[in-house]
Amino acid sequence: MVAVSTNGAAGTQVPAASLRNAWVKFGQFTAIQDISLEIEAGAFYSILGPSGCGKSTLLRLVSDLIPPAAGEVSVFGKTTEAARLAREFAFVFQDATLLPWRSALKNVELPLEIGRSRGIDIPVSDKTPMELLELVGLKGRENALPHELSGGMRQRVAIARALVCQPKLLLMDEPFGALDEMTRDHLNLQLLKVWEETGVTILFVTHSIPEAVFLGQKVLMLKAHPGRLHEIVDIDLPYPRSIAQRDTPEFTRYSAHLRGLLEAC
């Protein structure tokens, strides 16, 4: 079983992710320039920035999909490769990418089946796949096929599937970007519940300023040409958060500040 940090203990442990003077290049093109950053274990970071500034590249760097051209990247004190092999992180993309012929439950179980069939000793969540589906509000829909579910439901299956190997870090790249506003609000609340119940660290890329403020303890703002760190904004709003908080002057102030930063990018 993997020891999972609690949100309350954030900052007292090995960082979930650490970048030291990290660069990413594609040929001559610099996608990420000299980013140094520490993500505390158990934290929730939203990531904002103009299109092409390197948000997805940053997640791919942390998840061992691309190597740094220079600098160092570690995940829970390990190399990104070691962290990948130990299933320390999981990815959730904008498209749920479920297997269409498998039920919701069977999709959630898939990473466990793959691990078993390859004889790999993978970490297993202390919640069963059914309990994970319940956690994301899909109790009763476990036998539905992906085409029988709404887009929001499919994303929830993808989140449950991402949690099945008890990752300590969840990398989310615009997971709710294709959903309508009401569904997105609902999933934002559910994601916060998942975060609070599991203690998982979350890096959440979004284009939506309200979503970034609503979810994050911090918002990491990137700049483009080349992609680099612009500012890290602490969102000092109490949890559990509620939709009504969006109407408060504090929320509006954070949003206005971030909008100003985005316009200056």
Ligand X SMILES: Nc1ncnc2c1ncn2[C@@H]1O[C@H](COP(=O)(O)OP(=O)(O)OP(=O)(O)O)[C@@H](O)[C@H]1O
For residue 129, the partner it binds in ligand X, Mg ion, none, with Cβ less than 5 to 8 A by kind, is none
Residue 53 binding ligand X, by CB under 6 A: yes
* Site string (54-73) toward ligand X, x via CB under 6 A: xxxx----------------
Q: Determine the Cα–Cα distance for residues 5 and 99; give it in Å rounded to an integer.
A: 31
Write out the binding residues for ligand X, residues 7-36 only, by CB under 6 A. Answer: 26, 29, 31
CB 22 within 8 A of CB 68: yes
As a whole number of Å, the end-to-end CA separation of the chain is: 43
C-alpha span between 37 and 211 (Å, rounded) = 22
Cα radius of gyration (the chain): 18
Q: How remote is the C-alpha of 31 from its chain's centroid?
A: 20
- The CB-of-210 to ligand X minimum distance in angstroms stands at 17
* Nearest CB to ligand X, comparing residues 158 and 160: 158
Phi, psi of 227 (to 5 degrees): -65, 125
Q: Are 97 and 173 in contact (CB under 8 A)?
A: no
Q: Cβ 223 to ligand X, closest distance in Å?
A: 10
- In whole angstroms, what is the distance from residue 256 CA to residue 30 CA? 30
Residue 57 binds which of Mg ion, ligand X, none (CB < 5-8 A, kind-dependent): ligand X
Residue range at the interface with ligand X (CB under 6 A); choices 50-58, 125-133, 144-152, 250-258: 50-58
Q: Report in angstroms how near the CB of residue 226 gets to ligand X at its nearest.
A: 8
The footprint of ligand X on residues 210-229 (CB under 6 A) is 227
**Using rule CB under 6 A, residue 160 touches ligand X:** no
Binding site for Mg ion (CB under 5 A): 56
